[in-house]
Structure 1
Amino acid sequence: MAGYFNDQGEEKTDHPPAIVEDSERFVQSFRSHINNIVMFIFVNPFIRHYIPFFKGRSDESLRNVKFLYDKVDSIIKRRREEIENTPLDKPLPHDMLTSVITANTPRDINYTKTVGGESMDRPMTDLEIRHIMFDAFIGGTDTTANMISFIVYYLAHYPDVKRKVVEEIDRVFQDDKTRPITEKDLHQFKYIDAVIKEVDRVFPVSNMLQRYGAEPDEIAGYKWPRGTMFQVNAVSIHKNKNYWEDPETFNPDRWMVEGFEPKKYSFIMFGGGLRVCPGRKLAMIELVALTALIYRKYDFDLVDMEAPLQVRSGIISACTQLLVKVKSRN
C-alpha cells in the first residue's frame, strides 16, 4: 500500500511497505479472530481437539490469537517505556492506551484512591491492559465499519429518510463543508441518531448475544443448570410485535416521538445488564460524526438497487460487499 501510494500520489509516505504490511496483517488477524470465535462457542471441545478439520481450524485460531497477544503486549511494553522515560512535568499523549497504563498512578489526570468505597490504588497489570485493549479493538472496529455500510444501504433505499438526514446536516453546519465537527453539533443530530438506531433495529450488527447462567435457573418453564450458555437472538427481539409497532417497517421517525423509549431489553444494540457494551457512547459518537461528515460532502447511490445486502453472519453481521456510486454534493 505504501508503494502504491508513493507511485500514484504527489505526497509521499514515510512508512516503509513492511510496516504497512505488518499493520494489514494485524487488522486482518483481528477480523479472523472475530470469525473464529463462533467455532469456540458452538463446536464441542472434543470435536475441536480430535476431528482433523476442526482441529486444524482450532489450532490455526489459537496461533492467530498468540500473534495478536504478542503484538498487543509489545505495543503496551513500548508505550509503558515511553511513559517511564517522559519527565513528570511533561504532558503525556491523550489516548486510550496511555490512560489505562497510567490509571491509578500519580500520572493519572483522574487519579483517585477509592471508587465506591473500594481501594483503587493498584495500577493495572499488562495482562489486564492487554484484555482491555483487545476488547476495544474487537468491539470498536468491525462493528462500527459494518454499521456505516448498513446506514449507507438503507439511506440509499429510503430517499425521503436520506433527504431529512441531509437537511439536518446542512442546518447544523450552515452549509459549511469544511469546518470541524464539534461536541455541540453532535447533540443537534437528533435525526441521524434516530436513523442509526432504526438501522440497527431492523438489521443489527450484533445479531446475537451470549450470556452464561451463574446459577441454576428456570426460564420459560424449563430448568437450566448452572453454566448454561444462552444465545440471545437480537433480530427476533428487535422485530417482536409485542414490543414494536410495524416492526418490519424501516421508520426512523418512531425514535423522534417525544418521550419515546423502547421497552426494557427490547432494543439491545449494545447489549444490556452488567455486560452492556462499555464503549457504547463512543460508538454512537463515531457513528453520528462519521455519518454527518460523509453526507455533508458526498451522496451515495447503490450500483444495483435490486441487489440484496451481502453479509456474512457470525458473532456479528459483516458486510462482505457494498458497491456504491459516490457523488460530490457541491
Structure 2
Amino acid sequence: MTLIKEFIFDPPNFLYLIFIFVLTYISQFYFRYFTRQHPIPGPIPFPLIGNFETYHPNSSQWARELQKKYGDIFEVYSGGLFTLNNRQIWISNASLTDKLLSPYTNNNFPYRTTENEGLDKMDMTSKGIVFNRNVNSWAYNRRIVVQVLMAPKFLKTAVKNTEELFFEMEKHWEKLGYLNDAKEQEIELDLVNWMRRFMTDSVFNLTTNTKSYALLNYFNTFNTLNKDERESNNDHFLRESEKFVNYIRLHFVACIFFKDTPKILRTILPANRKKSRELLDVVAWLNSKVLELIRERKKEIEKADPDEELSADMLTLLLTINTNRDPKYVKTTDKDNLIDARPMSEDEVRENVYEIMGGGIDTTANTFCYVVYYLTHYPEVRQKMLQEMEKIFGKDMNREITYEDLNKLNYCGAIIKEVSRLMPTVSVLFRVSAKPDEIAGYKFLANTQFFINVPAIQMHPSHWNQPEKFDPDRFMDSEQQIPKNALLHFGGGARVCMGKQLAILQLKALMVLLYRKYDVELVDMSGGIKYSSTVVNHCEELPVKIKVKHSA
C-alpha cells in the first residue's frame, strides 16, 4: 500500500497517470464515435466540448452553413463529460418533419426537451405547456389555454386594447415634440424599444387586466419633469411596476440558465452558484406576486354578482373555466373526464401566465419591426397594402378598428407571412422522441433530440419558387400550393403556437394604426436588419423616421 501511495504521489508518476487517463478517455471517446450505430453526416466532435468549435454567434447562420455542408439532416454534439450522449439531430427539409410535427397528441415526439433537473427545479416540467413532459397535464393545459385565446370576446378585447395603447403611445410622442405637425417634423426614434414596451403593456393587460406602465416608464426616460411632478405621478409605484416587468424577463433567463446549465456547473463554479441564487430569488419573488394577483382576482370573481359580466382577460378566463362562471361548464361524474373537467390550480394558472407573457412580447414586437423594415424597402408592396386598408377603412385616419375589419385584410396577412418566412422570429423548433423511431432511413433511439431548422426550411429551393425574393403575392395565389410544414413561423404540429390568431390580429392592427396616419422610412436605408440570433431572432435596433400624413 505504501509503495502504491509513493508511486501515485510522486510528481512524474502522477503526471504519467493523468496522461494515461486522458489518452484512454480520448481513445474511448473516438472509438465510440466512429463505431456508433446509424451514423449521420456532421462535423466530428471533440471530447468535452462536442462541436462547440463550429458554433457561430448567429445560430441561424451556423445551422445554414452546416446544412449546406452536410445536407438536410445532420448531427452535432453539445459538450459535457458524456458528450456522445448529447446528440442533436438537425432537420432542414419540410418533407422530413411529418412525424416530428404530427398534429396528433399521441404522436412519438410529444416533448420539447429531455428530462431536465434544472427545469424540474423551476417547476416547469409538470405544469403549463412549453416544457411540460406530463402528456396528460400538457394536453389539459393546452386545451384550456386554446379555449381562452380563441374566444371571440378575448380577441375583440385584444383589438380594442391594441388601438387604445397605440393612442397612448402617440400621446407620449406628442409630449416629446415628435408630432409637431406645424413644422412637418419627422420623428426619429428606435422603433424596437417602443414596440417592446408597447407589447409588454398589451400582453400584461390582456393577461391580467392590470397595467404594467411599460410605455410610461420608457417615456419617463426622455421626460424632464421635475422631482415634484414625478412624485405626483406615483414614481414609486411605477418603479415597482418596472421591477415586475423586468422580473418577468428574468424568469425567461432563469428558464434558459437552469435548462442548459448542468447541476454540477451550477454548484461548483462560484459565478454560476451566485447567478443560481439570484435567479431563484427572482423566481420566488415573482411567484409570490403572481399568486397574490391570482388570489385577489379569485376574490373579485367570488364577490361578483352571478349575472355580472366578468372581464375578458386571460387570468379571469383561466380561473373561471370549468367553474359555475363558465357558460360552457357541464358538471360531470365520469371518471374518464374528471381531469379535463376540473378547474385549473393556482400553480397551473401561474405557469401559464408566465408562458403567455414570456412568449407574447418579444415575438410580436420583433415581427412588427421586421414588417416595417421590409415595407420601407418595397414601396410597391406598401402601396398595395395601403390600397387594401383604404378599401376597408376609407380615408378616415381615426376610424375605429374592429375584429371583423382586421379579418378582411388578406394582403396584410400575406405580408406578415412573407416577412416571417424570410425573417422568422423563432429560428428553431425542438422535439424529443418518446420511443425508438426512423426518419429518412436513419434509426433513432428513444430520447433523441431533434432540432427543426426553421430558416433553412422556409428558404429551401425545393419548397419555394425564388425563395430569396420578397413576394407577399405568393400567399395570395390559391393555385400556388405551399408544401406541408414549409412555413413554420408559428411552429407546427400538436405544439403549434396557440397565440397565432392573437398575434396576427395585433400585427394587422399595428400596421393599420401606423401606416394610415404616418409615412415611415428607415434612418439608414442601406443598412441591413440589425439582429442577434439564438433560439429567437431579436431585432437589436430599428431607427426610423416618421412623418405625419396630411389628409387629402
Taking structure 2 as the reference length, the TM-score comes to: 0.55
Partner of 1:101: 319
1:284 corresponds, among 483, 504, 527, to 504
Given residue 225 of structure 1, which amino acid in structure 2 is its aligned partner? L
Partner in structure 1 of residue 166 of structure 2: none
Question: CA deviation digits over 1:22-42, x for unaligned, max 9?
Answer: 222222233334355444454
In structure 2, the CA distance between the partners of 1:107 and 1:149, relative to structure 1 (3 Å rule), is same
Partner residue of 1:72 out of 276, 290, 308 = 290
| 1:230 aligned onto 2:450 | yes
Distance in 2 of aligned mates of 1:143 and 1:13: 34
- Pair 1:23 & 2:269 matched: no
TM-aligned CA deviation for residue 142 of structure 1: 1.1
Between the aligned partners of 1:40 and 1:260, the Cα distance in structure 2 is 44
The residue number in structure 1 matching 2:337 is 118
Q: 1:228 to 1:262 in 2, by over 3 A?
A: same
Change in Cα spacing, 1:141 to 1:166, as seen in structure 2 (3 Å) is same
Alignment correspondent of 2:68? none
Q: Give the direction of change, closer, same or farther, for the CA distance of 1:61–1:293 in structure 2 (3 Å limit).
A: same
Cα distance, 1:239 vs. partner? 0.6
Say which of 193, 198, 209 aligns to 2:429.
209
1:276 is displaced (CA, Å) by: 1.0
The percent of aligned pairs where both chains have the same amino acid is 39
Residues 1:92 and 1:6: Cα distance change in structure 2 (over 3 Å)? farther
1:13 Cα deviation from its structure 2 partner: 10
SS across alignment from 1:245: coil
Q: Which residue identity does 1:289 align to in structure 2? A: A
SS at match of 2:486: coil
- Which is worse superposed, 209-218 or 23-32? 23-32
1:34 aligns with 2:252: yes
Deviation at 1:108, TM superposition (A): 1.2
What residue is the counterpart of 1:177 in the other structure? 397
Matched, 1:85 2:303: yes
RMSD: 2.6
| Cα gap change, 1:38 to 1:158, in 2 (>3 Å) | farther
Paired with 2:517 and 2:382, the residues of 1 have a C-alpha distance of: 14
Report which stretch shifted further, 187-196 or 227-236.
227-236
Superposition pairs of residues 1-330 of structure 1, within 5 angstroms: 4=220, 7=225, 16-35=234-253, 37-113=255-331, 118-119=337-338, 120-330=340-550
Partners of 1:12 and 1:54 in 2: CA distance: 38
- The aligned amino acid for 1:108 is D
How far off is 1:221 after superposition? 3.9
After TM superposition, the structure 1 stretch with the greater mean CA deviation from structure 2, 221-230 or 163-172, is: 221-230
- The one-letter amino acid paired with 1:7 is L
* Residue 63 (structure 1) shift: 3.3
C-alpha separation in 1, matches of 2:442 and 2:469? 33
Whole-angstrom CA distance in 2 between matches of 1:20 and 1:86: 29
Q: Distance in 2 between matches of 1:237 and 1:43?
A: 29
Larger Rg: 2
Larger RCO (CA under 8 A, 6+ residues apart)? 2
SS of 2:341's equivalent in the other structure is coil
